[in-house]
Chains A and B, each alone.
Chain A
Amino acid sequence: MTTNIFLAGVGGQGILSFARVLGELAMIKKVNVLIGETHGMAQRGGSVIATVRYGDVHSPIIARGKSDILVGFEPLEAARYAYMLSRTGIAIVNTEPIVPYSVSAMRTKYPPVQTLLKMIHDRGNVVVSLNATEIAEKVKFPLAANSVMLGAVAATAKIDAQLDEFRQAIRKTVPRKIKENLMAFDLGYEHAVRIISGKNPESIG
């Protein structure tokens, strides 16, 4: 049994820290884990990816179309890597865009967020869209946005772990404001569960 999680976003969004939480989760569960990280020049505001793989795997790189979860920290980056998702894969997408400099410089257009989400949805994948920063503001700590995203990841039920094990991983890896991060995690979880179970009319998944 292997589980592949593909993380995509922009340099500086805390993607490596996010991967570390998922790594810690594996240590708690005592399952094998491999994480592929991006360091160096790409971290300067470029498109950054990380991969997390659980189970009997040797390479941190995920084969095309084999990701169980795509975590898009930014909608354009989520769409860029939608091809990594498997048929049954779920995309968790933060809807807050970061306009790349190339768009400003070349006077091109940043695609409408709804279009980006639809591109993933049209592949047949469930899309959980959320404005993680706005949700994190409810716990008065916008930097907990990634904990909101992690809550949504937990809600996919694609990772074989209890919610308390996720919470334990947060406690072990998040350096400060643990209470706020745990609250943010719960909000992200609840938001995503509503969409995945199809009860939310806003769901496009």
Chain B
Amino acid sequence: MRTILQGKPGTEMLLLGNEAIARGAIESGIAVATTYPGTPASEIGDSIARIAPDLGIYFEYSVNEKVALEVAVGASLAGLRTISSMKHVGVNVASDSLLSLPYMGIVGGLVLVSADDPSCHSSQNEQDNRYYSRFASIPMLEPSSPAEAYEMVKFAFELSEKLSIPVLLRETTRIAHSRGVVKVGEPKRNDRQARFDRERKFILLPQVARRKHAELLEKMGQAEALSEESPFNRIVTLGEKSPFGIIASSAGFNYAIDACKELSLSVDILKLGFTHPLPRRMISSFFKSKEKVLIVEELEPIMENEIRALAEREGIDVEIYGKHSGHLSRLYEYDQDILSEAIGTIFLGSAPKRREEEIAFPELPQRPPVMCPGCPHAVTYYAVKVATKGAAVFPNDIGCYSLGAVAPYNMGDTMLCMGSSIGIAEGLSKVLSEPVIAFIGDSTFFHAGLPALANAVHGGHKMMLIVLDNSTTAMTGHQPHPGTNVNAFGEAAPALRIEKIVESFGIESLRIIDPYDFKDAVRAIKEEFEQKRLSVIISRRTCALLEIAERGKILGKRRAIDQAKCKKCGTCVDGLGCPAIARQENVYEINEILCVGCGVCEQICPHGAIGVKK
């Protein structure tokens, strides 16, 4: 398998943004790396996990992002370098620790990577985590390319140690999942001896915290001076001397420069990479030779607000364009087309024409993501549907199984954030007369479900919880979690049994079902459904993709439909919803490339029309 270690020092590697971050970290002598997997951050942890044993790095997929950050903090307080990576909403989970951490301070360099997701490609919101740099008062770096991400992470460790505070490296999906050429250096083993200095107190008692806040603001003053000198903040000149300027960061810079080149525009682009604190002196001087300046940043007008305030304070008489002028949106990720239109309109008086406008296409069938053929979650949903006739309210949670919210299951009435299904189910069950059935995945159960389940017991909430246990964190690429019996390196690790936890909480009505044993699963759910008490059903069956990868072959014999026996009742398509079964003009067929041989369709066909493919 290719790893980020393979590139020899001085050579060029074709790295994903996330791999570049991982490579930068292992060249900075990290001793500890932590994460909770989440798109678009996952490959940072995955890349480090593959090579951590070779470099003596301790790596873990932590139970959640808060613990991930705290494990990193612990190692940092002992003087070692650490990196903790997470998706944007994961930072919310870690935020309780994060917002006081800069007061407390750190010792070994600590870099927090936030992978934001404009356009919600794989997320429940498109929150802008650049706010966290302001909220927590920490320096922030924003790369525009894998090569820059690699350089920035190395600088981030230096910066963190210089100021004794964590540094936020904020990327977006388009940086995380872009592959580009990176010239790499030498991987470096941690050469520091871990030592915790008990004389230095890391205690935020109120009297200490008050003093620490003042110290933190001083550090941010120093950080601004460093931002003014940073090579990550620089002017890129296109064409002739021009009264036009653009200030851009992150992916926005890429779209802006590609658009300016397309339009052959002469312009100076102030490319900002060290974006908190902003280099205010540099920005003021950039404005001096300009008549019009466009500010390009995806999502919130954070730089724009601060730059407009700066312009007003300093009496700068330049037309400023961006979100407040209505030329750019606070919504979704940008692209070259969006920037060509804004830049063309502002600086040239007209936008370029696009070919798409010339030729309209008829509507084509959509292809949204679906649960995989053989997915045990899909089978569980169908079993619940059969057992309950769908007559309940179904709070759902975050994972592959979120897709249970759509047809044919329609068993997701709420889906908010990690672990929320249980708490919401408690509130609903307290006030509603109809039954409430919550779903949660195994990894999510450990991540944020445990406190909510404790609350359900103590609060006397009468609801059913179905734990969809596929023995992995499937959505993000099959990472282990505390319930699996292996760690990140595939070594044996203690597995926490969900049933033991549930029992220890004092929940008596606990059942474990195998969704592939369909009739039995339906019976168990039905019996419990009629009881109307706090109950937990663990639906346990390994993720089909993982099982196939581990076996090196499909689950069983492929199935086929006997057209003579098929009564076209639709149970397999409209009930089970296996995507390997296609219905075209009322003819049902199993796609032999997609079928993985789980055999569930054979069990649920009421007419015995499905059997092993001959």
State the A residues within 8 Å of B (CB): 10-11, 19-20, 23-24, 26-27, 32-47, 56-65, 76-77, 79-80, 82-83, 86-87, 98-105, 107-111, 119, 123
The interface residues of chain B lying within 8 Å CB-to-CB of A24 are: 14
Establish whether residues B364 and A79, one from each chain, have CB atoms under 8 Å apart when the complex forms: yes
Establish whether residues A37 and B179, one from each chain, have CB atoms under 8 Å apart when the complex forms: yes
Establish whether residues A34 and B361, one from each chain, have CB atoms under 8 Å apart when the complex forms: no
Closest CB-CB distance, B338 to chain A, in whole Å? 10
Cα–Cα distance between A23 and B178 once the two chains are bound (Å)? 11
Cα–Cα distance between A178 and B335 once the two chains are bound (Å)? 37
Establish whether residues B335 and A87, one from each chain, have CB atoms under 8 Å apart when the complex forms: no
Query: When the two chains form the complex, which single residue of B174, B251, B258, B591 contacts A99, counting CB atoms closer than 8 Å?
Result: B591
Supposing A64-B356, A76-B365 touch, asked if A44 and B371 sit within 8 A by C-beta, the answer is yes
Of listed B144, B573, B579, residue having the most chain A CB within 10 A: B579
The interface residues of chain A lying within 8 Å CB-to-CB of B14 are: 20, 23-24, 26-27, 33, 35
Query: When the two chains form the complex, which single residue of B255, B366, B408 contacts A61, counting CB atoms closer than 8 Å?
Result: B255
The interface residues of chain B lying within 8 Å CB-to-CB of A45 are: 367, 369-372, 579
Supposing A44-B400, A46-B369 touch, asked if A65 and B356 sit within 8 A by C-beta, the answer is yes
The interface residues of chain B lying within 8 Å CB-to-CB of A98 are: 591, 593-594
7 closest pairs, A vs B, by CB? Answer: A65-B355, A40-B122, A40-B39, A46-B369, A59-B254, A35-B179, A58-B254
Closest CB-CB distance, A70 to chain B, in whole Å? 13
Residues of chain B from 294 to 308 with CB closer than 8 A to chain A in the complex: none
Supposing A23-B14, A105-B577 touch, asked if A44 and B372 sit within 8 A by C-beta, the answer is yes
B138 beta carbon closer than 8 Å to chain A: no
Supposing A19-B179, A40-B122, A58-B257 touch, asked if A83 and B359 sit within 8 A by C-beta, the answer is yes
B354 beta carbon closer than 8 Å to chain A: yes
Query: When the two chains form the complex, which single residue of B255, B364, B584 contacts A104, counting CB atoms closer than 8 Å?
Result: B584
The interface residues of chain A lying within 8 Å CB-to-CB of B476 are: 40
Closest CB-CB distance, B365 to chain A, in whole Å? 5
Query: When the two chains form the complex, which single residue of A27, A43, A60, A62 contacts B174, counting CB atoms closer than 8 Å?
Result: A60
Cα–Cα distance between A76 and B361 once the two chains are bound (Å)? 13
Query: When the two chains form the complex, which single residue of B122, B251, B364, B577 contacts A59, counting CB atoms closer than 8 Å?
Result: B251
The interface residues of chain B lying within 8 Å CB-to-CB of A57 are: 258
Given A47-B366, A47-B368, output 12 extra A-B contacts at Cβ < 8 Å. A26-B181, A32-B181, A35-B14, A40-B121, A44-B369, A44-B370, A59-B255, A60-B254, A61-B335, A79-B361, A101-B577, A104-B573
Of listed A24, A58, A62, residue having the most chain B CB within 10 A: A58
Residues of chain B from 202 to 256 with CB closer than 8 A to chain A in the complex: 251, 253-255
Establish whether residues B40 and A40, one from each chain, have CB atoms under 8 Å apart when the complex forms: yes
Establish whether residues A80 and B364, one from each chain, have CB atoms under 8 Å apart when the complex forms: yes
CB-CB contacts of B520-537 with A at 8 A, as 1s and 0s? 000000000000000000
B499 beta carbon closer than 8 Å to chain A: no
Cα–Cα distance between A43 and B474 once the two chains are bound (Å)? 12
Query: When the two chains form the complex, which single residue of B39, B174, B262, B340 contacts A41, counting CB atoms closer than 8 Å?
Result: B39
Supposing A27-B12, A64-B337 touch, asked if A38 and B365 sit within 8 A by C-beta, the answer is no
Query: When the two chains form the complex, which single residue of A47, A82, A99 contacts B584, counting CB atoms closer than 8 Å?
Result: A99
Establish whether residues B177 and A36, one from each chain, have CB atoms under 8 Å apart when the complex forms: yes
Query: When the two chains form the complex, which single residue of A42, A60, A111, A123 contacts B364, counting CB atoms closer than 8 Å?
Result: A111
27 A/B residue pairs, CB under 8 Å, sorted by A: A20-B179, A23-B179, A24-B14, A27-B12, A33-B181, A34-B178, A34-B180, A37-B16, A39-B43, A41-B400, A44-B370, A45-B369, A46-B369, A47-B366, A47-B368, A58-B254, A58-B257, A60-B178, A63-B335, A63-B337, A65-B354, A79-B361, A83-B356, A83-B359, A99-B582, A100-B365, A111-B364
Interface size class of B (residues with CB under 8 A): 35 or more
Whose C-beta in chain B lies nearest to the C-beta of A74?
B367
Supposing A34-B180, A83-B361, A99-B582 touch, asked if A58 and B370 sit within 8 A by C-beta, the answer is no
Query: When the two chains form the complex, which single residue of B16, B355, B579, B586 contacts A83, counting CB atoms closer than 8 Å?
Result: B355
Cα–Cα distance between A102 and B370 once the two chains are bound (Å)? 9
Establish whether residues A41 and B369, one from each chain, have CB atoms under 8 Å apart when the complex forms: yes
Establish whether residues A27 and B372, one from each chain, have CB atoms under 8 Å apart when the complex forms: no
Cα–Cα distance between A141 and B591 once the two chains are bound (Å)? 19
Whose C-beta in chain B lies nearest to the C-beta of A103?
B365
B4 beta carbon closer than 8 Å to chain A: no
Cα–Cα distance between A81 and B359 once the two chains are bound (Å)? 13
B145 beta carbon closer than 8 Å to chain A: yes
Establish whether residues B582 and A103, one from each chain, have CB atoms under 8 Å apart when the complex forms: yes
Supposing A46-B367, A59-B251, A63-B335 touch, asked if A39 and B177 sit within 8 A by C-beta, the answer is yes
Closest CB-CB distance, A68 to chain B, in whole Å? 13
The interface residues of chain B lying within 8 Å CB-to-CB of A11 are: 369
Closest CB-CB distance, B509 to chain A, in whole Å? 32
The interface residues of chain B lying within 8 Å CB-to-CB of A10 are: 367
Closest CB-CB distance, A83 to chain B, in whole Å? 5
B96 beta carbon closer than 8 Å to chain A: no
Whose C-beta in chain B lies nearest to the C-beta of A33?
B181
CB-CB contacts of B570-612 with A at 8 A, as 1s and 0s? 0001100101011111100001011000000000000000000
Whose C-beta in chain B lies nearest to the C-beta of A45?
B370
The interface residues of chain A lying within 8 Å CB-to-CB of B581 are: 104
Supposing A33-B14, A33-B181, A34-B179 touch, asked if A64 and B355 sit within 8 A by C-beta, the answer is yes
B493 beta carbon closer than 8 Å to chain A: no
CB-CB contacts of B340-383 with A at 8 A, as 1s and 0s? 10000000000000111001011011111111100000000000
Whose C-beta in chain B lies nearest to the C-beta of A32?
B181
The interface residues of chain A lying within 8 Å CB-to-CB of B594 are: 98
Cα–Cα distance between A61 and B583 once the two chains are bound (Å)? 35
Cα–Cα distance between A77 and B591 once the two chains are bound (Å)? 18
The interface residues of chain B lying within 8 Å CB-to-CB of A104 are: 573, 581-584
B384 beta carbon closer than 8 Å to chain A: no
Query: When the two chains form the complex, which single residue of A33, A79, A102 contacts B366, counting CB atoms closer than 8 Å?
Result: A102
Establish whether residues A36 and B178, one from each chain, have CB atoms under 8 Å apart when the complex forms: yes
The interface residues of chain A lying within 8 Å CB-to-CB of B40 are: 39-40
Establish whether residues B369 and A42, one from each chain, have CB atoms under 8 Å apart when the complex forms: yes
Query: When the two chains form the complex, which single residue of B16, B262, B372 contacts A63, counting CB atoms closer than 8 Å?
Result: B262
Whose C-beta in chain B lies nearest to the C-beta of A19?
B179
Of listed B43, B372, B584, B586, residue having the most chain A CB within 10 A: B584
Whose C-beta in chain B lies nearest to the C-beta of A16?
B179
B407 beta carbon closer than 8 Å to chain A: yes
Establish whether residues A61 and B336, one from each chain, have CB atoms under 8 Å apart when the complex forms: yes
B417 beta carbon closer than 8 Å to chain A: no
Establish whether residues A105 and B403, one from each chain, have CB atoms under 8 Å apart when the complex forms: no
Whose C-beta in chain B lies nearest to the C-beta of A62?
B336
Of listed B180, B475, B586, B593, residue having the most chain A CB within 10 A: B180
The interface residues of chain B lying within 8 Å CB-to-CB of A87 are: 355
Cα–Cα distance between A65 and B359 once the two chains are bound (Å)? 11
